[in-house]
């Protein structure tokens, strides 16, 4: 039985202030699959996540972004969220004066388009907070204000498990985490895996993939996917670095 394509990226080109960054991305994510995007610094990984979510700074100059068969490239960020798309930021923003719990309830109501009874919300929040080892006192703090890197990333994953999006894009969620925080975040990601959801993990290092096993791994360089494979590809990249893949794609002159 064939799987349903959830996200289809077709010949996607994007530029920032007139400078081309993405140069023809093609990728399909089916329901129930986890895809990892790896690549060296400056390859376009974070640009891809921002373009998918509709950041106004990034101009789509060519191609399509199909979510459940619908082209969403002209939709606003909040419209894409309501369609089931979620982005966990590499550098989450602080919002002084807005407690974490209030932000989460507002986000849940906005994406689901209905009021969430406070008792129902608190029960769900408590269950998911315990999964991520988040204390009650954390939920009363202002969003990301004074948070450590690990606290910010745990809060992003808390949003993921609460909002239950169909397609989740996680932009370098492992950056800045010590091993204990990494394991907790990975546990939260694994808890969201199911047959209906697609996950796109964008990471620079293989270590996150020790705990979240991807179905497929793609190497992004010079704004395009230059190699794809199964999870073993990530192990090869960890052992050999990116040079060998870049050489294969004629993006790096062989060393003498």
Pairing of strands 95-99, 34-38: unpaired
Would you say residue 82 lies in a domain? yes
Total domains in the fold of the chain = 1
pLDDT of 146: 83
Nearby residues of 151 by Cβ (< 8 Å), 6 or more positions away:
138, 144
Report the CATH number at residue 42.
3.40.50.300
Q: Which run of H or of E encompasses 20? A: strand 19-30
Would you say residue 143 lies in a domain? no
pLDDT of 254: 45
- Are the CB atoms for 230 and 236 separated by under 8 Å? no
pLDDT along the chain (256 residues), means of 10: 88 95 97 95 93 94 97 94 89 82 89 85 89 86 84 88 93 86 90 93 89 95 96 92 91 56
pLDDT of 94: 79
Would you say residue 116 lies in a domain? no
Would you say residue 253 lies in a domain? no
pLDDT of 93: 74
In what side-by-side order are the strands of the sheet with 216-221? 85-88, 167-171, 198-202, 34-38, 216-221, 224-229
- Secondary structure (DSSP) of 226-246: EEEE-THHHHHHHHH-SHHHH
Would you say residue 17 lies in a domain? yes
Give the domain extent around 203. Answer: 5-95+166-248
Would you say residue 130 lies in a domain? no
- Are the CB atoms for 22 and 51 separated by under 8 Å? yes
CA angle 172, 175, 178 (to 5 degrees): 140
């Amino acid at each position: 039985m064939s799987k349903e394509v959830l996200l289809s990226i077709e010949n996607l080109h994007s530029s920032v202030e007139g400078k081309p960054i993405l140069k023809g991305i093609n990728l399909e994510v089916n329901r129930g699959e986890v895809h990892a995007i790896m690549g060296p610094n400056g390859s376009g990984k974070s640009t891809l996540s921002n373009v998918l979510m509709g950041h106004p700074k990034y101009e789509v100059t060519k191609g399509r972004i199909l979510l459940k068969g619908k082209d969403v490239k002209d939709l606003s960020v909040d419209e894409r969220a309501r369609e089931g798309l979620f982005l966990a930021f590499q550098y989450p923003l602080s919002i002084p004066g807005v407690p974490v719990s209030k932000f989460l309830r507002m986000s849940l109501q906005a994406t689901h388009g209905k009021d969430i009874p406070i008792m129902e919300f608190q029960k769900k929040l408590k269950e998911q907070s315990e999964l991520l080892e988040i204390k009650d006192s954390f939920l009363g703090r202002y969003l990301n204000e004074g948070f450590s890197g690990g606290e910010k990333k745990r809060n992003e994953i808390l949003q993921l498990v609460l909002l239950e999006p169909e397609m989740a894009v996680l932009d370098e969620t492992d950056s800045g985490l010590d091993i204990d925080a990494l394991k907790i975040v990975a546990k939260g990601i694994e808890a969201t895996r199911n047959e209906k959801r697609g996950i796109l993990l964008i990471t620079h290092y293989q270590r996150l993939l020790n705990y979240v096993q991807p179905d497929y791994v793609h190497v992004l360089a010079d704004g395009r996917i230059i190699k794809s494979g199964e999870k073993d590809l990530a192990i090869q990249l960890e052992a050999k670095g990116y040079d060998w893949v870049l050489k294969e794609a004629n993006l790096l002159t062989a060393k003498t």
